[in-house]
Amino acid sequence: MKLNCDMTMDLVALYQDGLASESTNEAVESHLETCARCREYYKSYRIAKPFQEEFLTVQEREFAEVAKRLRARKLWKRIFTCSYILASIAAMMVLWLRLQDEDEFDVYHVK
């Protein structure tokens, strides 16, 4: 399959994202080997692609914001859970140490 420059530039996005078929990949690659202009376009496309804020749509930005908040909330939940468990263990240890000293904790036996 022989591609012209317009077709190649249209297909570069699919090629880059790995969504093009094997024959399309080969056609794009063979055109990129011979055409400097399309190679430049492909390079600039590759640089622009990785998640840069200005390339995100409004919905994607909102989703990223929500995901960030959820991650933060999850982190705080974990911190709270760990603190709660540690505080419980500490309280049990204090109670256990006090129970070791029977005289101090002998509340059930009237003297």
* Binding pattern for the stretch 1-30 against Zn ion, x by CB under 5 A and - elsewhere: ----x-------------------------
Cβ 27 to Zn ion, closest distance in Å?
12
Contacting range for Zn ion; rule: CB under 5 A; set: 16-24, 32-40, 80-88, 95-103: 32-40
- Phi and psi for 65 in degrees, rounded to 5? -65, -45
Q: Which is nearer to Zn ion, 43 or 77 (CB)?
A: 43
**35 counts as binding Zn ion under rule CB under 5 A:** yes
Q: Distances from the Cα of 74 to the Cαs of 71, 77, 78, 82, 94, in angstroms? A: 5, 5, 6, 12, 30
| Gap between the Cα atoms of 36 and 14, Å rounded | 19
Which tokens belong to 102?
């029977």
Q: Largest alpha-carbon pair distance within the chain?
A: 103
Q: Which is nearer to Zn ion, 20 or 96 (CB)?
A: 20
User: Could you list the residues that contact Zn ion (CB under 5 A)?
Assistant: 5, 35, 38
